[in-house]
């Protein structure tokens, strides 16, 4: 297993610091829930890890591999960081079937159609392989987004509040799926939420983002 490390990370938006000297370790093979109120900068941190935005300062590394370093000018392109990302709005391609979505992403690592079907089967969508997103329920769309993120054989799995639009029963089923797939990822699985039930259902390790800083905050669901 490989840990993800961020050191003294600063990200600025519209002239203000959204992240201000963040430092933390995200343990490999474990689920870290990134907890905090809306607008705290949780999505910004995921986007920095994924290489979708460029920090003003700091370092991001996965084991010995440096993704970003302001000191030496390193900035590895997002497609080379081996990161699977499930976005808050899922960002599924409406014109492609489930199998095509998974296969298209997986082609970058040599995934075959048979392999793509196996991934769909692992998330319980083998019967939905030829359906487009508009033909799937909310929970099924969540599962497809997870399958697509796994198709590229990621070393890190990022999930940005993907379950906000599904009911409690579907959420509990999806918790089990995340617990199962995270054990197959060599780096950390990082799940962003502001809901206590998500933290309780998923966390091996919990960090709170507040005032641009990351602090260890175990068992936040017991607070308040």
Q: What pLDDT digit, counting tens, does each position of 171-192 carry?
A: 788 888 999 999 889 999 999 9
Q: What pLDDT digit, counting tens, does each position of 101-116 carry?
A: 999 999 989 999 999 9
Q: Which residue has the tokens 């959204």?
A: 18
Phi, then psi, of 133 in degrees rounded to 5: -55, -40
Q: Is the model's pLDDT at 84 over the cut of 90? A: yes
Angle formed at CA 203 by CA 179 and CA 28, multiple of 5 degrees: 70
Q: Where are the alpha helices (DSSP H) in the chain?
A: 42-50, 98-106, 113-122, 138-151, 168-182, 196-202
The whole-number pLDDT of residue 183 equals: 87
* The model's pTM: 0.92
Higher pLDDT, 36 or 152: 152
Q: Is the model's pLDDT at 217 over the cut of 80? A: no
Q: Is the model's pLDDT at 220 over the cut of 80? A: no
The whole-number pLDDT of residue 196 equals: 77
| Domain residue extents for the chain | 4-219
Q: Is the model's pLDDT at 224 over the cut of 60? A: no
What does the alpha-carbon distance between residue 97 and residue 34 come to, in Å, rounded to a whole number?
Answer: 31
What does the alpha-carbon distance between residue 140 and residue 124 come to, in Å, rounded to a whole number?
Answer: 9
> Cβ contacts of residue 25 below 8 Å, gap of 6+?
3, 4, 5
Domain boundaries 4-219, corresponding CATH code = 3.40.50.300
57-71, 102-116, 152-166: the lowest-pLDDT one: 152-166
């Amino acid at each position: 297993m490989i840990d993800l490390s961020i050191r003294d990370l600063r990200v600025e938006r519209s002239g203000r610091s959204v992240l201000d000297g963040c430092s933390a370790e995200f343990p490999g093979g474990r689920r870290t829930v990134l907890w905090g109120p809306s607008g705290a900068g949780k999505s910004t941190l995921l986007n920095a890890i994924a290489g979708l935005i460029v920090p003003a300062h700091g370092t991001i590394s996965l084991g010995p591999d440096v993704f970003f370093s302001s000191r030496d000018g390193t900035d590895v392109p997002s497609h080379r960081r081996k990161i699977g990302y499930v976005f808050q709005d899922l960002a599924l391609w409406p014109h492609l079937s489930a199998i095509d979505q998974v296969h298209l992403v997986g082609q970058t690592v040599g995934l075959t159609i048979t392999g793509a079907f196996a991934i769909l089967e692992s998330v319980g969508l083998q019967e939905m392989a030829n359906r487009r997103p508009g033909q799937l329920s909310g929970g099924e769309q969540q599962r497809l987004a997870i399958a697509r993120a796994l198709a590229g054989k990621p070393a890190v799995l990022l999930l940005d509040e993907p379950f906000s639009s599904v009911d409690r029963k579907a959420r509990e089923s999806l918790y089990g799926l995340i617990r199962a797939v995270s054990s197959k990822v060599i780096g950390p699985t990082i799940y962003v939420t502001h809901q206590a039930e998500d933290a309780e259902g998923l966390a091996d390790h919990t960090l709170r983002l507040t005032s641009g800083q990351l602090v260890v905050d175990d068992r936040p669901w017991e607070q308040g």
